[in-house]
A = this chain, B = another copy of it.
Amino acid sequence: MPLIDELQAIVGADHVFTAPQDTAPYVVDWRRRFTGTALAVVRPRDTAAVARVVRACAHHGAPVVPQGGNTGLVGGGTPDSSGRAVLVSTRRLNRVRAIDTANDTITVEAGCILQRVQEAAAERDRLFPLSLAAQGSCTIGGNLATNAGGVQVLRYGNARELALGLEVVLPDGQVWDGLRGLRKDNTGYDLKHLFIGAEGTLGIITAATLRLYPLPRVRLTALAALPDLGRAVALMARARDRAGPLLTAFEVMSAACLQAVARELPGTRLPLPADDGWFALLELSDHEDDAHATALLEALLAAALEAGEVRDVVVARSLTESRTLWRLREDIPEAQRHAGGNIKHDIALPVSAIPAFVAATDAALRARFSWIQPIVFGHLGDGNLHYNMGGVPGTPLATVFAHEAAVQRLVNDAVQAHQGSISAEHGIGQLKRDLLPDYKSALELDLMRAIKAALDPTDRMNPGKLLATAAPSGDTVQAR
């Protein structure tokens, strides 16, 4: 039976798309940097159907491209242009299977929208802490496949740290049921950590059992103006020392970021002057009450003012004020889009290396590219900067993008020199795949290829993502 007929028999003809107008939304990534074609887009309803689809593809030798909410930033969910791949959308696998409040776990299917998972937890007075800009449209399966980060990693970790168990459809269509709600389980290799962050190249995550936390009673937000980035590191150390795990977010942004938001987005009001320096957005999450949280935050900020770490500060007095402060941070990418675009780098560094890295790399870029304007913001607590390079106002976009490769090379080389990572939270996908060999040891790539060959010997699972080509089956590290 032709593969398309088999797929229709498994999921129903209504959920197998082959016409270009139907497949179009699935075969281009949301930043529209990658466009592919698919033999078909298939939307199975449950894990058994995913398994049957993958088995059918295996039988026909068709590549499989898993896709969640299609919000990825590196083209990891976009098929190549061969037209051979079957794109498996997990969007209809959207059930909350179970919530166990005594165990503080939730079991959800891969296609659940992240915000829905947060809401399902909140309905039972629990926190699911993963939180990021795309939460209204990204899926938890995609979050796990890419090990998503976001704004609360400082306290709760990345998607990886929030997963206790997984269900995965393997490249041959077998289903691995690893849906355990256990916080300790030392019975062999930890397979879930292999599939998390593998960007769908080892199998399709179809469900997960995730950690929940008690819901904090109060969240307090403050925006602080700082003389420089070194002082931001000092303020964060002070906040961690004084507030311990109650410090749940510590974001930084340069004055240029706030200037861009004020300039590009009408109606923006800056609560502090943003002529120069840096800004930190702090969040405390408190399990006691507003009075306790306020006293703790104010004592912390007063000491920081006295020590010269902070020049000025505003504390949000209401949820609305808190949202206004967070919006300044969240609006930076939108302001950059309005300004015409920029060259993005999602990088991680040891926190201790960040001030020196930014000073040296800003200077090197300005020396070489006279038009450049750094727009730098990120999750300081995680050592994760969105180190983006636009042009000073008036720079033609063509000038910016003509130098894209040279700018990226300079930045990535500097990241490597500071023992950092060229992809902190967005992954590799297609975008950075061919850069990876320049920034990862040959040995580490060999180990990755050996694992890929062991679990997907015919290289049919999301081929061409993360790794350019799989090693032939049976090849091993030792054979190198």
Contacts and interface: CB of A to CB of B under 8 A. Distances in A.
Interface of A: 100-105, 146-147, 149, 153, 155, 157-158, 160-161, 170-172, 174, 176-178, 180-191, 193-194, 196-198, 202, 213-214, 216, 233, 237, 240-246, 285-288, 296, 348-353, 379, 381-384, 419-428, 432, 436, 439-441, 443-445, 447-448, 450-455, 457-458, 466-467, 473-474, 476-478
Contacts of A233: 102
A288 to B, nearest CB: 7
B189 A350 contact: no
Contacts of A237: 101-102
A448 B191 contact: yes
A104 B448 CA distance: 28
Nearest to A479: B457
Q: Which 6 A-B pairs have the closest CB atoms?
A: A193-B193, A102-B352, A244-B287, A245-B245, A454-B454, A474-B474
A184 B421 contact: yes
Contacts of A351: 102-104
Given A189-B194, A436-B188, A477-B170, A153 B421 contact: no
Contacts of A467: 188
Contacts of A187: 421-423, 428, 432, 436, 439-440
B454 A450 contact: yes
Contacts of A101: 237, 352
Most chain B CB atoms below 10 A, which of A288, A296, A425? A288
Nearest to A456: B478
15 contacts: A100-B352, A104-B351, A170-B443, A171-B478, A174-B477, A186-B424, A187-B421, A187-B436, A187-B440, A191-B444, A244-B245, A244-B285, A447-B455, A457-B476, A457-B478
Main DSSP-derived SS at the A contact region: loop
Given A103-B351, A161-B161, A182-B348, A188 B440 contact: yes
Given A102-B233, A177-B441, A185-B424, 5 more contacts: A182-B383, A186-B424, A186-B425, A186-B426, A194-B451
B451 A189 contact: yes
Contacts of A425: 184, 186
Contact of A383 (B172, B174, B183, B466): B183
